[in-house]
Structure 1
């Protein structure tokens, strides 16, 4: 009976891991490689071209989504309205994504030395030719320690730091990186809002067109 219970538990863990991979890869607290990031951000081949991968995709909806994403290019992070931030989150929910635990110096937007390797692996992944032409959202998140206005500002500054790092160190086109800050509003673990795992950078591939090339 004990062996059966262990096997059942193992099966449940395996299934849970498989399900989480379909929604996006989370590698917080682990050493992450460029290949892992690349695999997480690779768009699934759509049945129809455009931003929507549904078999019954509405071309008009696709066009509006593309237009919205294009309107975000070269926008300042702090210029985004709450409505725009929420629309980005809604679109990003169904896109290839990865959560990275990129820590920053205390009360700062500077990448910590301990997290520099993860930032470098992200740069290598986004430089891969297979992702050429994609638009990426770089979203900053904080835990709930501190005031909401402070955390919102901090998340925006940290997202901007990642963008600057990727453009300066890896030559990523700045227009292909849309930065957005969510502060403490979208915790990874809503039951533990002050948990450090909520401090993360989420990278989302907003395009699926690369899969059909």
Structure 2
């Protein structure tokens, strides 16, 4: 009788182990499905109006853009520190990016911090690989940081700038991307992704926009 009981317990344990394993694989699949891929980023940031062409400019001058005013603004903010941008410049950038190839990667951060959350590291890595691709390399990108609505305006502005800088540092350090090709800007809590839930995690994010301006010739 004791032997039968032991066998039954062993069978029950095996069943529990099997279910647990199945659940683990299910969770892994769900997480993988939520992660953005390099190809998705590449397609989102590649201009649709015309194919990307190799820069033919000489001496490091920018290729002509469809709108000279846009090209002038991009040139003026390249290489600038995030905090050096004026409110007017930030709003001018926000207006321009409306019609540019962009992607909201839902890169989230730890609460009240500029530290990239562990779950968002794969997305940042995918971004690094995409921006290193020959199709995008050399283009100028806006990396815009955002916060949720908690806290004061001045504090959130500073936090959003630090978050944009955090992404830029990761891309420069880990993928060797030219820092001048990444224009970092902070918008604080002024442009919530989910206004209905101002404290939602989705608001603590970074948006990446291709400004469609290449500065150096690609070989």
| Structure 1 length-normalised TM | 0.76
Could you tell me how far apart the structure 1 residues matched to 2:119 and 2:194 are?
23
SS of the equivalent of 2:145 reads strand
Q: Write out per-residue CA displacement over residues 123-145 of structure 1, whole angstroms, 9 at most, x where no aligned residue.
A: 01111000122100000011101
Q: How many residues in Structure 1 have an aligned counterpart in Structure 2? A: 173
Contact 2:145/2:185 (<8 A) preserved: yes
Correspondence for 2:152 = 147
Correspondence for 1:185 = 190
Correspondence for 1:51 = 65
1:115 to 116, 120, 125: 120
SS of the equivalent of 1:137 reads strand
Could you tell me how far apart the structure 2 residues matched to 1:185 and 1:107 are?
16
Contact 1:109/1:161 (<8 A) preserved: yes
Correspondence for 1:66 = 71
Correspondence for 1:85 = 90
Could you tell me how far apart the structure 2 residues matched to 1:107 and 1:186 are?
17
For the pair shown, which has the larger CA radius of gyration, 1 or 2? 2
Contact 1:45/1:208 (<8 A) preserved: no
Aligned-pair Cα RMSD in Å: 2.1
SS of the equivalent of 1:129 reads coil
Q: Write out per-residue CA displacement over residues 16-56 of structure 1, whole angstroms, 9 at most, x where no aligned residue.
A: xxxxxxxxxxxxx9310111111100011349x9533xxxx
Q: Write out per-residue CA displacement over residues 96-149 of structure 1, whole angstroms, 9 at most, x where no aligned residue.
A: 000012122232212122211111011011110001221000000111011111
1:41 aligns with 2:55: no
Contact 2:107/2:120 (<8 A) preserved: yes
Change (3 A) 1:118 1:88: same
Contact 1:100/1:201 (<8 A) preserved: yes
Contact 2:105/2:206 (<8 A) preserved: yes
- Structure 2 unaligned residues grouped into runs of 5+: 1-32, 52-62
Q: After the TM superposition, which parts of structure 1 deviate over 4 Å for at least 4 consecutive aligned residues?
A: none
1:30 aligns with 2:23: no
SS of the equivalent of 1:207 reads strand
Correspondence for 2:209 = 204
1:193 deviates by 2.1
| Structure 2 length-normalised TM | 0.74
1:103 aligns with 2:108: yes
